[in-house]
Structure 1
């Protein structure tokens, strides 16, 4: 079965024609033979033949029209399918001529086989003539007609006889020839029209298939009837997968609905329209198309569909946008831009170029960029620049150029070579920024960053740089470098009294006086409010350094006029000095050592200098390290309290306990305060450790009280801790955390020297604490040389005699006298008195003999952990030897007063 529509149509048409013709010939003759006589049948056969010729001619015309317009599956025609299936339509070939001869001869043989003299059956020859004309055109049709005519003349249907032609036969023959000629000419016209249609179709296909534009045709429902390869490729689909589908199968719904609505509007208006459309495609990008759409109209003027031609202008749009951006950047850029041709002539400049250089565009176009040269760069500079452009394609750097008014300015210039497809340079594009103001600003920033704005002296940053240079220089020439840290004495008072303006004037005046004493190689820097650093280079000896330092102290002491205050003032300075390379340290360490030495000079009386001592510094470092270790010990809970009993020698009762700190070192065991207390005193740890002692002692006292051990626990408070502004408040909070302990069971022991340093504050703090209910004891009494008025003012409850007096009272009459005086003084002021350092029973008896019956010391008990204290109190009441002390003391007192 043929595949193409045209081949199938021809097959069905010829087969139908053959069946119809055969039926007409045999059935019509049979019918006539039964109805009329022989003479009438001859005449009717002629009429029947003429009718058949007219009928077949009409059918041929109808067939030709049908074939030329028959639609195909893809919107073309049958002819297009024939063209694509069989190649280009050419003239008749040998096969056509063979058929033109063979078909009539075959029909003559059929006619001969019928054998009827009355019925020549010339109608049988019409079919091969028509087929030859249809298949081959004019010449094969005429050849078939000639063969049929000649054959019908010379071949008699009666076997072995020759045909004599009468009028009837001549008429039939003429009709046969006329039919053949007409059909041949009509077939030739059809063939030529088919050739022209094929050529037009080939041309159209070449245009549609070869264009990069999308060409499509849709029906009234928006379904695709035709789409070319460009459209199918853009959709990433085959053409057959697009045909008979509408836009909803190709695009997202919103876009598809918009397209179909637009198409319907165009078909309704029946007008061609050109516009731009943006559509998403399978490549994930939004494509922009220039679209021409119009209606497809039939001969009757009815709209049958829609055609469209879409050109993808996405890249053009991007290029237009890029060009617009480039133009905007070029015209609106704050950087100067110039374009130079390969001959190094300026062809284009932007407004910023004119603004920066002062030249108008028409003044520089056609000129060489060298017109801007400042003359500050040599030929080697420009050779290097152009070499980089040629080798790397660009150059950038700082350059100095000249404006139209002759002013020099600095610019940061970037030059790029623009090359064509062949690699040749088409242009050079230079862009530059005027950095003159930036450089001035940088210089200002550099001065601010490296110099003191008030005095103009180098600041710490520049000082460090100069110090590093000086260290390298002095090492090489084997001279000493003196690093001196200078701090003005009394500057704060002047600044506060006369104002900051006067203080600034003083600093400027001191700077001026010091500068007059400096050598060229010396450096003076200001590193703080009233702090300066001197670098005295190339010192030959310590003696030379000492002389220079004396001159500096005298320079500082030179009076300075203060116009703001209307006075002239003189200040002194404290100088800390370290010598390099004797102090073989780095830059930071040298400055730090000089700073430490300055503080020592200030503490030593001011208006002097002090030379840094490395041994003292090592001790300070050890102290700092020890504080760090103690801080960790406090956080780790390594401190514990030991308790030393206080007893009443008259009745043997335990009246209290002094809490003494110990360090339970994880490696060295339990350490006494002698191993670490000096590092704590006066340090930042003094208050936190003192607060811990109070909290721990309160906790233990509360626990003992709840266990039935009613005694007063005392702790030692340092001067710094006691005089802290919030000491009383902190003590109040601590007591509140232990509500089960009566405040009277807690006692604070403060050194006499601590109370004497600030008597007013000490009195206020003691009174505040006593209002909380706690007791106060004045520790180490007798060592502070307090006056009777001080003792009267201090609201303490108890005086503790220092152990240094108690220990030697048995052998030293002076110490015994001091102890006896303290006891009598306590009685006079109504204070209790307790003696520490009681090491023997003889000490106890002696104390009782002079009226002091409260005591503590190693002779009674050593400090012990809290868990041993309660057992000790039980044993103490049963120890007979201390019960005898009261009796011995009574006897000694009787002897003394007898």
Structure 2
């Protein structure tokens, strides 16, 4: 077992339980995790009996081999889930098959990693620890609410019987104590207004009594008037009791003290909208405050500034003084930020050492310089942490409404880009997201203007790269790739203009043009007899989150009478993981149209099939970075093999990208990869050349058949 870590110098170490029969494999795994910076205590077991004993202790994460002489990995998973449904469980094995891997994830394993390729392990650990923490917090919150409900049920309630006029007939002891009525005093001398504040008494006599008389019951939340003049929030029920003729004879009411619940709800609301460490609003609250600022700005034609702040050299504080000192620094920074802003401005913790400020009601964009001046003044004095003076400076990015966007997500993204530009210039710098942001000098500024001109004057063209069925060599699809035919520069590299498109408002109209152009070409093919060829187009993050994406796809299909299943939208996994819940809703809507969805560049982002299985997908495109070295790199070959097999188990079609050699082609074919795409099969070519090539290929297949 590893030595305990010094809790005063480092964060509390993780506790890892390793189920492994080979001690050498365990030590190799420990070395790998420690080399990756993980701080942890660990124990190894290899029998079911030992595991049952050890599960009486608390563990942050469990690693398990799959196949052991005296103990099954699946049995270990079953025991773990019976004991604790939340603790992350990851298989680390060299023998697990693809089918069993899928089954293991269905039974509750979070992920699996091959022993010979541990590159995904540390990211998986970070991800699953975070997910487990969220699950436990949610479970604790639910448990707290349940416990509170039990307490409230045991609290004595006010019970009263009243005339329809509101005069009391009877009031129980708990009610008498709440309002200060003598235990023996005649309750009939009192009325509803003596129990409740005047406005609530009027509401009860009007709304509550009327509804109870008509429907038999009314329930809602009100407040009792206490003997000390205060008010007690209560959950109240009013019941109408009828005589033999069906007329209301009297009413009864039960009022239960819900002050504890109200305080708990307020606490939950606060925790849901505020950062625990600093007490600042979190991202969710920031969005709400921005909406209010936006409504005001639109009414008054004023401006809003979104400032993205990153503390300079914060990592040095954590490294030299420890994370506890870093947390203290963040708290003091948050306090000073709040103190230097106007009451109608909002400062939120964005995450880590990053903060966001929304400064609204600016009559002029340059007024944001006043905010910057106040920030500088607030941090002229050092922050004291553990008797040490720390001078805090920020790298600040600024985006302005309406110049740089009209939504909080757009402005946050633009201010983030501006912040990184400021950071690249050194410490204590600020930069605006303006026309010179995200471009390389005047030449790229001119290029952005040229892009607008290109869109208006039809300088964009599409080149098409074929996708070949590995089982028979037939072309089953093509990917449409945008090119810019500049009148002076010639054919401009996509690497030079696509980033500009993605960080400007142009990506929306250009993306729509690509979609329409691809659908138009498909109509031309169908009229020429090229049925059955699928057409794929890429969708950027901005397009994916555009609320009009579905309508644009639907219109393009209808206008060109294109079969829905012939269109495929390619989306990177990073886009989906930005907001998995929202992404799932969008993908389901796309599927409802009958349009296919493919994950592009798989392997360059989260690379988690355990996550991707949650999304409604049709295909997975393995990134060329893995295909490139499958012949010379055993690890890349294993990754590609596993990706293909597991994707098939999840019902996904697999496309190998960047196939440039016959050896790569044959490798993918032997691994049952469905389709291949790359220079070995065909470079991206213009529409006319592609049509001629398709005609030639069709003739060759007819001849061979």
Q: Do both proteins adopt the same fold according to a TM-score greater than 0.5, normalized to the shorter chain?
A: no
| Higher RCO (Cα < 8 Å, 6 or more apart) | 2
TM-score using structure 2 length: 0.41
Judging by fraction of residues, say which structure has more helix.
Answer: 1
